[in-house]
Structure 1
Amino acid sequence: MDQHLYVFVTVAEKQNFSRAAEELHMTQPAVSQYIRTLEQTMGTRLLERSNKYVRLNKAGEIVYHHAKEILGLHTKMQGLIDDLTMKAKGPLAIGSSYTFGEYILPHIIARLKKQYPLIQPAITIHNTSEIAELVENHQLDIGIIEGQFKHSRVDTRKIAEDSMVLVAPPGHPLSEKSEIDIHEVKGETWILREKGSGTREAAENLFYQYGIEPEQVMEFGSTQLIKESVEAGLGISLLSSWTIQKEMKNGYISMLPVRGLPFKRHFSILTNSPFQTKALKTFLELMEDYLEENKKEKNGNP
């Protein structure tokens, strides 16, 4: 049944029998037979077919959702069995929200591939709420997010502290002062991430803490786009210090010396199983080592 579900998921995602057959290294008639068998087992059609497309119907959407979870659990189970060989190897599904995923995770993955080439990481980058949902549904072995997340089925553990700073275009008048009050920037245009992201949550927490209601807000779905917009003079933003290291070094943006900042938040990991594969344990150890090394560098310790 696992193979039938795998074929079905591939067809649903490719929306085409020929492309699915190519992906699976199978013939198109073989793929069609797998789908027919699965539909007979389910007792209903799962796909709407035409000469131009293949789409999920209502029943197909239900099967697809649960098939993804079943296949995720199967992969996790196989990994735990493989761990009996005591080798760190096999697939590892890692999800991360944007700040960690785009600015920190690549360095950790580089170390992982160099030291443990048999581990096969697959990376998913999305906002915090989406990553949490994928972990909950067993489609990710681990999620790394910014901010807070509480759910009865998902275990959460803080792994590092993150400093959020207020950034402005280079040469902004307030950046020349030794210290400013947060309310001095109330009238600025604030450039924020979309709702559901950890960076947006941090900004809203800052507004709540200081009783601020921004007069003008622009919303973008990318930290890189926000940085480019700040550099271009469109407004100011609250960003993780991890994300602005190159821009600060090159003078592309400036940091506003706001009293009470940096605003602190945490990076956390999400898991949804009492068991950990050796690949996951190895990744966690490398990640914690990297974060600790970086923390010492920022604090000026050898």
Structure 2
Amino acid sequence: MKYSLKQLAVFDAVASLESVSAASRKLSLTQSAVSMSLSQLETLLDRPLFIRHGNRLILSHWGEWLRPKARKLLQDAQQIELGLHDEHLISGQFEMCSSQTAAKHLLPELISKIDMDFPELRIGFTVKNTKNVLEGVLNYEYQLGIIEGRCDDNRIQQKSWIDDHLVVISSPRHPFARHETVSLAQLEQAKWVLREEGAGTRRIFDAAIHGLIEHINVWKEYESVSVLKSLVERGVYLSCLPYLDVKRDVEEGKLIILNTPQLNMSRSLSFIWRTDALDNPLRDCVLSEARRLTTRLSKEQKIPIQR
């Protein structure tokens, strides 16, 4: 093998930033050094790895094929380096990606705690829907993900973090808000605003109504939970969202949780990582701190852990 880890690191940086100049700043190299390293790698592999679109460098077919493999090699190299310097095991860069609920309600406190206790650990953090979190972990973009619901892909290791549940919400002015229970027939007649396809919340809702409601009237789909809640507050629509996302709005009287006894929408928020990933002290640190956080919050009754 004639290519180097440095060349792969340059390739990955350019792929992430789509720019030689931006990659040179990230890697603290000159632009000419980055360009030379990239050119050498393409020559060694005898494949074009990028296609130029204006000022942007977009991955070619071969670049898309190479990137997850390069990321895995770079992650493994980082773990080897940490293992050889065990006095600094909890240090370095660690990339995470989370779905919205955990990102909003749990991760700020978790990352803040880790920053105080492990100041040499730098956590990069991205928010996406469950489908994209899974894809990012599988493509070695992130070393750890947080998703909503189950994952049956044998390439993924999954560890439950907390139990949660979804609720059907309305405005206090909605006609259904006066009902002690809301039937499936009434839910079928309603106008709905829901999360987009691929969101964990949407998958759980669709699974809950499958075989019970033949057709649901989905008026709009949005990624933003705040937008969905604002639309529901206006009195026309119903939505289905995690309890953690609507708890405060319900306590303030802005929203109502409808009693829908025929729907079972319990779920777990879970950590995921690749099954083939090496042992990782940084990942173990995050998982351990997350477990401590939810134990404390459940005792303070700040999160609705169901057993």
**Which residue of the other structure, out of 147, 156, 173, is the alignment partner of 1:171?**
173
Written as runs of structure 1 = structure 2, the 5 A alignment for 1:32-181 is 32-49=35-52, 52-82=55-85, 84-85=86-87, 87-181=89-183
Q: What amino acid sits opposite 2:299 in the alignment?
A: K
CA contact (8 A) 1:164 1:261 kept: no
Give the Cα separation in 1 of the matches to 2:292 and 2:15: 40
Match for 2:20: what amino acid?
Answer: F
Q: How many angstroms apart in 2 are the aligned matches of 1:55 and 1:4? A: 17
Unmatched tracts of structure 2, length 5 or more: none
Q: What's the counterpart of residue 240 of structure 2? A: 238
d(CA) in 1 for partners of 2:251, 2:267: 23
Residue 212 of structure 1 deviates from its aligned partner by: 4.6
Greater alpha carbon shift after TM alignment, 257-266 vs 226-235:
257-266
Distance in 2, matches of 1:98 and 1:157, equals: 18
SS in 2 for 1:290: helix
1:281 paired residue among 279, 284, 288:
284
Q: Who is 1:16 aligned against?
A: 19
- Provide closer, same or farther for how the CA distance between residues 102 and 26 of structure 1 changes in structure 2, counting only shifts above 3 A: same
Tell me the secondary structure at the aligned position of residue 55 of structure 1: strand
CA drift of 1:104 comes to: 1.8
Query: How far is the alpha carbon of 1:262 from its aligned partner?
Result: 6.6
Letter in 2 for 1:270: I
Match for residue 185 of structure 1?
A: 187
Question: What secondary structure does 1:219 align onto?
Answer: strand
Cα 1:175/1:61, change in 2 over 3 Å? same
Q: Point out the more displaced range, 133-142 or 115-124.
A: 133-142
Does structure 2 retain, via aligned residues, the 8 Å contact 1:80–1:276? no
RMSD of aligned residue pairs (Cα, Å): 2.5
> Does the Cα contact within 8 Å between 2:83 and 2:89 map onto a contact in 1?
no
Cα–Cα, structure 1 residues 110 and 234, in superposed 2: closer, same or farther, change >3 Å?
farther
> For 1:92, what is the secondary structure of its paired residue?
strand
1:200 Cα offset (Å): 0.5
Query: How far is 1:220 from its partner?
Result: 1.1
User: Are the equivalent residues in 2 in contact too, given 1:146–1:266 (CA < 8 A)?
Assistant: yes
Q: Check the 8 A contact 1:76/1:141 in 2, yes or no.
A: no
User: What is the rounded CA distance, in whole Å, between the counterparts of 1:51 and 1:214 in structure 2?
Assistant: 44
Per-residue CA distance 1:160-206 (angstroms, 9 max, x = gap): 21121111123323223333334322211111111111100111012
CA gap of 1:23–1:86, structure 2 versus 1, over 3 A, is closer
What displacement does 1:284 show?
A: 1.1
Aligned-pair distance for 1:207? 0.8
How far apart are 1:23 and its partner, in Å? 2.8
| Contact 1:150-1:156 within 8 A present in 2 as well | no
Question: In structure 2, how many angstroms separate the alpha carbons of the residues matched to 1:135 and 1:77?
Answer: 20
Secondary structure in structure 2 of the residue aligned to 1:45:
coil
Equivalent position amino acid for 1:189 in 2: K
Amino acid across the alignment from 1:181: S
Alpha-carbon contact 1:95-1:124 (below 8 Å) kept: yes
After alignment, is 279-288 or 14-23 more displaced? 14-23
In the alignment, the residues of structure 2 paired with residue 25 and residue 68 of structure 1 have an alpha-carbon distance, to the nearest angstrom, of 19
Over 4 Å off, 4+ runs: none
Secondary structure of the 1:54 match is strand
TM-score by length of 1: 0.88
Equivalence for 1:259: 261
Structure 2 distance, partners of 1:97, 1:68, is: 22
CA distance in 2: counterparts of 1:268 and 1:52, whole angstroms: 39
CA distance in 2, matches of 1:54, 1:249: 49
User: Percent identity over the alignment?
Assistant: 24
Cα distance, 1:67 vs. partner?
2.2
Residues of 2 paired with 1:81 and 1:152: CA distance? Answer: 30
Q: 1:263 to 1:39 in 2, by over 3 A?
A: closer
Instruction: Name the CA distance, whole Å, in 1 between partners of 2:21 and 2:151.
Output: 41
2: CA distance between counterparts of 1:80 and 1:203? 44
Contact 2:171 2:233 in 1 (8 A): yes
